[in-house]
Amino acid sequence: MALELFNTLSGKIEPLFASDGHVLRFYCCGPTVYDYGHIGNFRTFLHVDLLRRTARLHGLALHHVMNITDVDDKIIRNAAAAGQPIAEYTTKYERAFFEDMDALNIERPEDIARATENIPGMVSLIERLAAQDIAYKAEDGSWYFRIARFPGYGKLSKKDLHGIEDGARVDLDEYDKDSARDFALWKATKPGEASWETPLGPGRPGWHIECSAMAIKYLGDSFDLHAGGEDLMFPHHENEIAQSEAATHHPFARHWFHVRFLLVEGKKMSKSEGNFFTLRDLLLKGYRASAIRFLLLSVPYRHQLNFTFDGLTESTNAIERLRTFHDRIRTGNWPESISVPHQDSSARPERSEGERPAVAAATSALTETIRKGNADFTAALANDLNTAEARAAIFDVLRAVNTAADHSRLTRFDAEETIALLDKFDSIFAVLNNGEADRDAELTRAALRWAEAEGRMADVSPDVLEKFGSTSLTDAAIDALVAERTQAKKQRNFARADAIRNDLLEKGILLEDSKDGVRWKRK
């Protein structure tokens, strides 16, 4: 089944393909590195990651380019306030951004392009526009794009700008532009601001030009897909199309992918609402990176997601169930075949009464269920990245296989089929961590170290301090207590055994007794 994706440009769901039949070439608008990334940012990058992984599942190779905007108004303002050179200031936040991307298991793009390292490309693009009189220099030395010269303007965001009369509502003198809608390509130097000496005159790039220049540099005049948050559709992406296509006379990106904004606790995320969260904020509150990833991916990208703490807890529990299942199937010793017929009441009722419901039939029914789950999983993702359905397909299999295992009806073959499916699931969702339960804990510890270094210990929840701080129990200490409890149980001293278990539980350590001994995990 072909991978289909909604295309903002056409307004339809269309097959996504590589124009060269092999490598999907795409561009994603990256962060402006003026602060720590918030969960809204990461919803977008997470879905671009989802797109990468799904495209790979469909056999596509990837050439993904992402920009880092490392010069703009906010950066200039914040760096000045911090008394730092711009480069020093942005380096810190760029590094933090990639740490966060790693924490969320977001794959790196093939190419990272920094605005400040691509000034010449932008200048030459503007020169190409100037040569056609589409770019013009205003009195203050800034360069603008003449929208009137690009007939397709508005085709992405479906805006009809004809109704907007130049100067009707806007005092043109203030802008020094020919038309109020014309946008800046190059901003003339202002005192104290970063500036580059160029043939255009001294100044710095406008916001939009960097993406055009860098996309064209790495991907060519035309490429397969362009991605970003929904807010970028207008004016950013609209302007990118205008300046790129006017300069190259070729269609820019063919497919446009926009991720919707999220709400936090039912409201728009904003600092004034007090519901503005960075990834680090959440880690310090004790939420797991994997749960954040899973929640952010669980609602399909074209829908508004209401991000809540309850939702994080839910995701944590759902992942825990998946991991428990994964471990069970991976570590279990499943028989080659089932020889003893089972007259289990919960066995799949076969219609053919007279033919004795052979166990082989039940086993093959399970194989079918697993394969159907596998097919459903792939189909759901191929259908405009429907992650909710993809999740459901996995849980359908989980239940069926657990049931079979409970009734000694799981064969090695079906177990392997299941593991293959889970591997596929995790190649997309990347929350199982290959059984490495400690990855989340390690990320939380890293966040703690960061909080210490940045003097933000006040943001750390007491819960996290207890579990991960210096006073928390070491693995060895837990093992010792578990051993003591096992001993107590042998002597049928259940009071002592339960006391140990309860004490550990209070410290966030959950014990599970099984045939193969005691397992524990940090909650």
Partner RNA sequence: GCACCGGUGGCGAAGUGGCUAACGCGCUGGUCUGCAAAACCAGUAUUCAUGGGUUCAAAUCCCAUCCGGUGCUCCA
Query: Rule CB under 7 A: which of 99-138 touch RNA?
Result: none
Residues 226/27, Cβ–Cβ less than 8 Å:
yes
Residues 285/240, Cβ–Cβ less than 8 Å:
no
- 19 binds RNA, rule: CB under 7 A: no
How many residues bind RNA, per CB under 7 A?
71
Give the Cα separation of 338 and 331 in Å (integer). 18
User: Smallest gap, in angstroms, from Cβ of residue 457 to RNA?
Assistant: 26
For the chain, the distance separating the N- and C-terminal CA atoms, rounded to the nearest angstrom, is 39
Stretch that binds RNA, among 319-327, 362-370, 421-429, 474-482 (CB under 7 A): 319-327
- 229 binds RNA, rule: CB under 7 A: yes
Non-local CB neighbours of 267 within 8 Å, separated by 6+ positions: 273, 275
Among 207, 277, 425, 429, binds RNA (CB under 7 A): 207
| Interaction residues for RNA, span 467-496 (CB under 7 A) | 489, 494
Among 77, 321, 330, 356, binds RNA (CB under 7 A): 321
The maximal CA–CA distance of the chain, rounded, in angstroms, is 93
Give the Cα separation of 212 and 216 in Å (integer). 6
- 205 binds RNA, rule: CB under 7 A: no
| Interaction residues for RNA, span 30-89 (CB under 7 A) | 31-32, 38, 40-41, 43-44, 74
- 510 binds RNA, rule: CB under 7 A: yes
Q: Among residues 203 and 235, whose Cβ is nearest to RNA? A: 235
Q: Among residues 182 and 245, whose Cβ is nearest to RNA? A: 182
- 268 binds RNA, rule: CB under 7 A: yes
| Interaction residues for RNA, span 236-265 (CB under 7 A) | 236, 259-263
As to burial, measured by CB atoms within 10 angstroms (0-12 exposed, 13-18 middle, 19+ buried), residue 42 is: buried
Q: What is the 3-state secondary structure of 166-228?
A: CCCCCCHHHHCCCCCCCEEEEEECCCCCCCECCCCCCEEECCCHHHHHHHHHHHCCCEEEEEE
| Interaction residues for RNA, span 163-192 (CB under 7 A) | none
Q: Which amino acid is at 261?
A: F
Stretch that binds RNA, among 29-37, 112-120, 126-134, 213-221 (CB under 7 A): 29-37
Residues 460/281, Cβ–Cβ less than 8 Å:
no
| Interaction residues for RNA, span 368-407 (CB under 7 A) | 383, 386, 388-389, 391-392, 395-396, 398-399, 402-403, 405-406
User: x-or-dash pattern for RNA, window 277-306, by CB under 7 A?
Assistant: ---------------------xxx--xxxx
Q: Among residues 267 and 412, whose Cβ is nearest to RNA? A: 267
